[in-house]
A and B are shown apart, each in its own frame.
Chain A
Amino acid sequence: MDRKNGPAVRFDGLEKSFDGGASFAVESLSLEIVGGSFVALVGESGSGKSTLLKMINRLVDPSAGTVKIAGEPVEEQNPADLRRHIGYVFQNIGLFPHMSVAENIMIIPRLGAGEIVNTVPELLDLVGLPVDVSERLPSELSGGQQQRVGVARALAGEPGLMLMDEPFGALDPVTRDQLGETYRALHDRLGLTTIMVTHDMAEALIIADRILVMSEGRIVADGPPETLLAGEGGAEANALIAVPKGQMAKLRKLEERS
């Protein structure tokens, strides 16, 4: 896979209400995500971050406003066609249980997204899996291996943009850390634009270039990890950062004692 620069993503006055305007999952949101950047969307459950992510690949349609990818409004594109060119990875993985690993990975090319650019062995190698898993069924793999297949499946469509919804949320901490690192390296190598939803501020701080903190449908903090760590992100961001910071302080104390 060649390095290329992922597209920019732009939200203009984006709104989503599931109850006809009584309350908003996402409220009049406008901002630009630079092509090639790694953005983490952080917030508590119900803050609207997943809804925002799903409006990008039209799994959810906005009540108002537009999403543009590389300047093109998404609502003007056929949803199936649009999604084949956007990588989508989510917490529950959703591998097709009746298809082998290889069939799962090759599903997007099979749907008719154009010629096959990458082979199964190349994609498996990219996500750090041995070639001999390709004939296995998803149920024969561990959770971490399954999510690696999930990432490989998303990459098979040659996307410039990757949308990840709590991608590593269901994995054990070691696997989660490893997969996070593997993915960040891939992001850099392939020159992707990545938008990742997570409720784990520590993960966001470590992996992303830019962090957006959401609360009740609004962006309440926006900045690089350094700025947020310096306490310049505002009250909500500070509250979220306080958790990992506090844990670290406790761990350090324990270390000093021994």
Chain B
Amino acid sequence: MNPRLQEAFEQVPALLADHVLLSAAALLLGLTVALPLAVGASRKDRLRQFALGAASLVQTIPGLALLALFYPLLLALNSLLAPLDVALPALGFLPALLALGLYAVLPILRNAVTGIVGIDPAIIEAADGVGMTPRQKLRLVEAPLAAPVVMAGIRTATVWTIGAATLSTTVGQPSLGDMIFAGLQTQNWTLVLVGCLAAAALALTADALLGLIESGIAQRRRWMIGTGLVALLAGVTLALAPLVLAQSRSDVVTIGAKGFSEQYILARLIGDRLEGAGYEVRYREGLGSAIAFEALARGDVDVYVDYTGTLWTNAMRRNDNPPRDEMLEQLSNWISETREARVLGRLGFENTYAFAVTQETARRHGLQSIDDLAGVAPQFTMGTDVEFLNRPEWTSIRTSYGLDFAATQSYQPTFMYRAVESGRADIITAFSSDGRIAASNLFVLSDPRGAIPNYDAVLMVSPGRADEERFIAALTPLLDAISVEAMREANYMVDRDAEKASPSEAAQWLAEQIAR
């Protein structure tokens, strides 16, 4: 088999299991909320209007945003619960479950209400006439007659939930979305395709089984209902098995990675070293910047790579720009004091924001430094990654140099480089360790006013592992071992269009460079 394909397939079982569990739990939550609500709503007009309105409103929130919203929501809830010494996990399974569960409510609620309200009034009159109590009427008449319509709603909810569960990657809950996000970042279309197909196959299978149950109810065939239920239960049980087994297993290290190539490569590099030291590892990839740090502080992630400037401005909320060593020292102290986590040290390279233009643009406008940019900015379109415009660094750069661009446009990093090459963007905020700067022959403008903070890559270790000797010993050889040239080359191996390497392959190459 094609090694790329094989590598993709190897990731499927574990992620599929996570995907199944998350979707099943979210659907169960959706059912628990929607069914009683539907019964109430079918009896009371005002409750019906309110419930359907609220559920529709939730549905208008994009899935990604709904997932992201639960993070601050749970943090706020935690600060309320703090006096009770209760801390809810704001990342991972819980926010994903809540968001997806909420999403599943509408189709189930709407169909259940329609199903109950749509029953022939003569049948309801007969049910009352023979002396059924409201409870008996629900059990003997309304529920069985509305069941096929309710099942159709459950099927819709299932397909939606399984699809939307791919987004849970962004809040640190593993799912088949991990493959899609990682593949998208590294332009590994095999990975994207396998991830998508696996999610689609799961959705179709679940839908077919629920369809079997639906026909079974409609045709009063017990065996159809039984077969469907048994198959669904078997699927969930199978997905649970690794979880139950894993708990009996020893130490599993979780390695975090944000959503770009360098992070995927470094995660594999770290993973390989830890495996060499006898640890079992798993990966949580595609995490948002803020989410990665909080996940480390909470111990959901044991180790990951972050950048000094990012933590300085986002986590510490500082907007001054001290020298390199001083920044690292203050940062290390702050992290060990406030989060009990540990900054193990620098990896040796920096990944800062680099304002890059094509050689031709630089020549035509005579650009050397960001200072030269101020004059031409009103005619320029700036392309950035999705985070940059909202980061405090941008504010400080903009005010230091008085930049005012004609337009700004956010891209996934890969597409950002394409944009500057094709001329859709005149300037981009490239990453200094990115191999594509050299590969695309871009010109990087200097920062004479020192407005861009330092972005040394640093190894972050969670509170639980901070003092674990074997763990620290396994990672120490990585410190000050990766030159910016080596990192660029490794990044480019993954990012280039032809002869692409997987992050694991690039990590192996990088490991060989370090060994030299």
Contacts and interface: CB of A to CB of B under 8 A. Distances in A.
A69 to B, nearest CB: 14
5 contacts: A59-B125, A94-B125, A95-B126, A96-B126, A98-B220
Interface in A51-99: 57, 59, 79-85, 88, 90, 92-98
Interface in A82-140: 82-85, 88, 90, 92-98, 107-108, 111, 113
B131 interface: yes
Contact of B125 (A80, A85, A90): A90
Given A93-B122, A94-B122, A96-B123, A88 B145 contact: no
B133 interface: yes
Contact of A84 (B121, B123, B125, B130): B130
Nearest to A58: B128
Given A80-B133, A111-B136, A97 B128 contact: no
How many chain B residues sit at the interface, stated as a range, is 20 to 34
B129 A59 contact: yes
B144 interface: yes
Interface in B126-157: 126-133, 136, 140-141, 144-145
Interface string B54-81: 0000000000000000000000000000
B126 A94 contact: yes
Given A97-B145, A98-B220, A111-B136, A83 B126 contact: no
Given A93-B122, A96-B123, A96-B141, A88 B136 contact: no
A94 B123 contact: yes
A23 to B, nearest CB: 23
B234 to A, nearest CB: 28
B129 A92 contact: no
Given A88-B130, A93-B126, A153-B130, 15 more contacts: A57-B129, A79-B131, A80-B133, A81-B131, A82-B131, A83-B130, A88-B129, A92-B122, A94-B122, A94-B124, A98-B144, A98-B145, A111-B130, A111-B133, A154-B130
A157 interface: yes
B168 to A, nearest CB: 39
A78 to B, nearest CB: 9
Contacts of A90: 122, 125-126, 129
Nearest to A79: B131
B131 A80 contact: yes
B84 to A, nearest CB: 45
A3 B145 CA distance: 37
Contacts of A111: 130-133, 136
Interface string B107-133: 000000000000011111111111111
A210 B261 CA distance: 92
Contacts of A79: 131
Most B CB within 10 A of own CB, among A84, A98, A157 = A98
B138 to A, nearest CB: 13
Contacts of A154: 130
Nearest to B141: A96
Contacts of A113: 131
A83 B125 CA distance: 12
Interface string A154-194: 10010000000000000000000000000000000000000
A83 B122 contact: no
Contacts of A59: 125, 128-129
Contacts of B130: 83-84, 88, 107-108, 111, 153-154, 157
Contacts of B129: 57, 59, 83, 88, 90, 94
A97 B132 contact: no
Contacts of B124: 94
Contacts of B126: 88, 90, 93-96
Contacts of A93: 122, 126
Contacts of A96: 123, 126-127, 140-141
Contacts of A157: 130-131
A107 B137 CA distance: 11
Nearest to B217: A98
Nearest to B134: A80
A90 B132 CA distance: 16
A101 B141 CA distance: 15
A95 B131 CA distance: 14
B202 to A, nearest CB: 32
A168 B122 CA distance: 15
A80 B125 CA distance: 13
B51 to A, nearest CB: 26
A22 to B, nearest CB: 22
Q: In the A-B complex, list the 9 residue pairs whose CB atoms are closest, starting with the nearest.
A: A94-B126, A92-B122, A84-B131, A83-B131, A88-B129, A94-B122, A80-B131, A80-B133, A98-B144
A88 B121 CA distance: 15
Contacts of B144: 98
B126 to A, nearest CB: 3
Contacts of A85: 131
A108 B140 CA distance: 12
Contacts of B127: 94, 96
A153 B126 CA distance: 10
Interface string B332-374: 0000000000000000000000000000000000000000000
Nearest to A59: B128
B515 to A, nearest CB: 72
A118 B141 CA distance: 23
Contacts of B122: 90, 92-94
Interface in B299-355: none
Contacts of B220: 98
Nearest to A156: B130
A107 B133 CA distance: 13
Nearest to A81: B131
Interface string A36-49: 00000000000000
